[in-house]
Amino acid sequence: MVSYVLPVLQKSGRVEMDEEIETRIEQEELIAELYITPFEADKHQLQLIYRYGSQSFDPFQTEELEARGRQVILRDIEKENYIMHLIENSPILFSADRMVLQADDEKLYQFYYRVIPKLKKLVTVHMAEELEEMIQKQVEAVTSFDLTKDSGLLSISFDFEGIPEDEIQDVLVSLKEKKAFHRLKNGRFLSLEDKAYREMARMIEFLDLRKNALKSTVQVPVYRGIQLYETFSKDQKLHSQFSRNYNELLETIQHEKETHFDLPKGLKASLRDYQVTGFNWMKSLSKYGLGGILADDMGLGKTIQTITYLLSELEEKEQLAPILIVTPASLLYNWLNEFRNFAPQVPVTIIQGNKEKREKQIEQIERNQVYLISYPTLRQDQDFFSNQTVSYGYFG
């Protein structure tokens, strides 16, 4: 027990020994080595060896270590205990003759990402070649933002340098699920604990992107980008990832002055001042690809303001995708009559009838026309609209 007890006593104070015992003491530097090899299906076997000079031994043994003849080797108990502490607090199973790391992603990640770096400061680690790269080298996560040319939406691109395109969606899902890591198809672990990954996860949560919508490039309404920009206002790195076009758009919106638009020539009505204001507001939103909610009280002319705006768009744009107005069933004919009174030149169709008729109507919708549909009918026919594009959707 001298090899265990004496180092502790020497740290506590001055120790006097019999000369015969003192001549038997031999002190060597501790060289610790850890061997890790594959064992069965995705299990890893560990063997820890301590070396003092020419002596090597199992650290779990309690026998006295002897060097040459009757010499006693003093052990570095403090270092040994710290190494054992790291190992014993690892997700390792101990048996009579071996230490085993089980085939569990969480345990494998914790061991290779957290424990091994600490052990390497004290221990020489020998690993089979295929285990050397269990942790994927740091992959830079980059998010970029740009305006799409045709749709007027904000395009958000997620890029992970070195990660195959077909695995990006799975990585994004792991981020959404707030996982600490993602295991790649090559068996390596990609740590998601870096700040850039955490910010990306926060962004995905803020945008409320569903799992099936997560791709390397997603498109969201422009206003979501404005919200994102303001929410992450202190993140200068994020701001630098917005394209020049988008930054110019934000700059223009922030310094936008009150704009007056010409009323459509074909309008068969006179608007009150506050209705003209509502029309100008909708035109301003449209100018920047934004949507809005016209929340006037009942009876103040939300319908006429909307018709004025839509007529203005139809007059200005030669090829406008179909316009869809969703309203309670009781108001369908009210909308139809309002169009006939104030904008009779606009083709308006009510989507109604049996399933076959409605399906045919939806298949044949045309540009530069307005279509009215009730909420219940839209819910029933949403699949029919999956391949259709509308320029404006109005919910009344």
Position 122 scores a pLDDT of 94
Contact 361, 377 (CB under 8 A): no
Burial label, 130 (beta-carbon count in 10 A; 0-12, 13-18, 19+): exposed
User: Dihedral sign, CA of 221, 222, 228, 230?
Assistant: negative
- In sequence order, what E strands does the chain have? 25-27, 30-39, 43-52, 55-57, 72-74, 92-94, 99-101, 123-127, 141-147, 154-160, 181-183, 189-191, 217-220, 323-327, 348-350, 370-374, 392-395
**Pairwise CA distance, residues 61 & 281, whole Å:** 82
For the segment(s) 273-395, the CATH number from 3.40.50.10810, 1.10.357.10, 2.30.30.140, 3.40.50.2300 is 3.40.50.10810
Tens-digit pLDDT profile for residues 115-169: 999 999 999 999 988 888 888 887 888 888 887 766 667 888 888 888 888 999 9
Task: Judge if pTM exceeds 0.75.
Answer: no
Position 356 scores a pLDDT of 92
Cβ-based neighbours of 131, under 8 Å, separated by 6 or more: 36, 37, 38, 44, 112
Least Cα distance to 102 among 155, 154, 160, 41 occurs for 41
Domain ranges of the chain: 2-131, 141-254, 273-395
For β-strands 55-57 and 43-52, DSSP reports them as antiparallel
Position 71 scores a pLDDT of 64
Tens-digit pLDDT profile for residues 95-128: 767 789 888 899 999 999 999 999 999 999 999 8
Tens-digit pLDDT profile for residues 11-45: 665 656 656 565 566 678 899 999 999 877 778 98
Tens-digit pLDDT profile for residues 327-351: 999 999 999 999 999 999 999 999 9
Least Cα distance to 115 among 80, 79, 76, 83 occurs for 83
